[in-house]
Amino acid sequence: MSTPTSPSSAAPAPAPRAPMLSTADALATLLAAAKSLAGTETISTFDALNRVLAADVVSPLDVPPMNTSAMDGYAVRVADLAQGSRHLPVSQRIPAGHAPQPLVAGTAARIFTGATVPPGADAVVMQEQTEAAEGAVTFLHTPKVGEWITAQGADIRKDTVILPAGTRLTPAALGLAASVGCAALTVVRRVKVAVFFTGDELTMPGEPLKPGAIYNSNRFTLTGLLRNLGCEVTDYGIVPDQLELTRATLREAAAAHDLILTSGGVSVGEEDHVRPAVEAEGRINLWQIAMKPGKPLAFGAVRRAQGATDAQGGEAFFIGLPGNPVSSFVTFLLFVRPFLLRLAGATHVSPRALSLRADFTQTKSDRRNEFLRARVNPAGGLDLFSNQSSAVLTSTVWGDGLIDNPPNHAISAGETVSFIPFTELLY
Domain containing residue 216: CATH number: 3.40.980.10
Q: Which pTM value belongs to this model?
A: 0.86
* Domain shared by 277 and 410, yes or no: no
* Domain shared by 229 and 298, yes or no: yes
* Domain shared by 223 and 295, yes or no: yes
The pLDDT of residue 266:
61
Residue 14 lies in a domain: no
Select from 120, 150, 180 the last residue of a domain. Answer: 150
Q: Which amino acid is at 300?
A: G
pLDDT, tens digit (0-9, with 9 covering 90-100), for 87-109? 999 999 999 999 999 999 999 99
* Domain shared by 297 and 370, yes or no: no
Nearest to residue 332, comparing CAs of 418, 422, 202, 245?
A: 422
The pLDDT of residue 268:
53
Domain containing residue 132: CATH number: 2.170.190.11
With left for phi above 0 and alpha for psi between -120 and 50, is residue 155 left, alpha or beta?
Answer: alpha
* Domain shared by 327 and 400, yes or no: no
* Domain shared by 275 and 414, yes or no: no
Residue 260 lies in a domain: yes
Q: What is the pLDDT along the chain (427 residues), one digit of tens a residue?
A: 433 444 444 444 444 556 789 999 999 999 999 999 999 999 999 999 999 999 999 999 999 999 999 999 999 999 999 877 789 999 999 999 999 999 999 999 999 999 999 999 999 999 999 999 889 999 999 999 999 999 999 999 999 999 999 999 999 999 999 999 999 999 999 999 999 998 878 888 898 888 988 889 999 999 999 999 999 999 999 898 889 999 999 999 999 999 999 998 665 554 568 889 999 999 998 878 999 999 889 999 999 987 554 445 699 999 999 989 999 999 999 999 999 999 999 999 999 999 999 999 999 999 999 999 999 999 999 999 999 999 999 999 999 999 999 999 999 999 999 999 999 999 8
> SS3 string of the chain?
CCCCCCHHHCCCCCCCCCCCECHHHHHHHHHHHCCCCCCEEEEEHHHCCCCEECCCEECCCCECCCCEECCCEEEECHHHHHCCCCEEEEEEEECCCCCCCCCCCCCEEEECCCCECCCCCCEEEEHHHEEEECCEEEECCCCCCCCCEECCCCCECCCCEEECCCCECCHHHHHHHHHCCCCEEEEECCCEEEEEEECCCEECCCCCCCCCCEECHHHHHHHHHHHHCCCEEEEEEEECCCHHHHHHHHHHHHHHCCEEEEECCCCCCCCCCHHHHHHHHEEEEEECECEECCCCCEEEEEECCCCCCCCCCCEEEEEEECCCHHHHHHHHHHHHHHHHHHHCCCCCCCCCCEEEEECCCECCCCCCEEEEEEEECCCCCEEECCCCCCCCCHHHHHCCEEEEECCCCCECCCCEEEEEEHHHCCC
Select from 287, 310, 343 the last residue of a domain. Answer: 343
* Domain shared by 137 and 229, yes or no: no
The pLDDT of residue 274:
87
Domain containing residue 175: CATH number: 3.90.105.10
* Domain shared by 261 and 311, yes or no: yes
Select from 99, 121, 150 the last residue of a domain. Answer: 150
Neighbours of 234 (CB within 10 A): 16
* Domain shared by 50 and 183, yes or no: yes
Nearest to residue 292, comparing CAs of 202, 362, 397, 351?
A: 362
Residue 2 lies in a domain: no
* Domain shared by 256 and 245, yes or no: yes
* Domain shared by 255 and 305, yes or no: yes
Residue 169 lies in a domain: yes
Question: What is the residue range of 183's domain?
Answer: 40-63+154-188
Nearest to residue 117, comparing CAs of 148, 156, 144?
A: 148
Residue 140 lies in a domain: yes
- Phi and psi for 37 in degrees, rounded to 5? -65, 145
Number of domains in the chain: 4
The pLDDT of residue 189:
97
Residue 159 lies in a domain: yes
* Domain shared by 74 and 195, yes or no: no
Domain containing residue 375: CATH number: 2.40.340.10
Rounded to an integer, what is the distance from CA 203 to the centroid of its chain?
Answer: 31
Residue 7 lies in a domain: no
The pLDDT of residue 4:
41
Residue 112 lies in a domain: yes
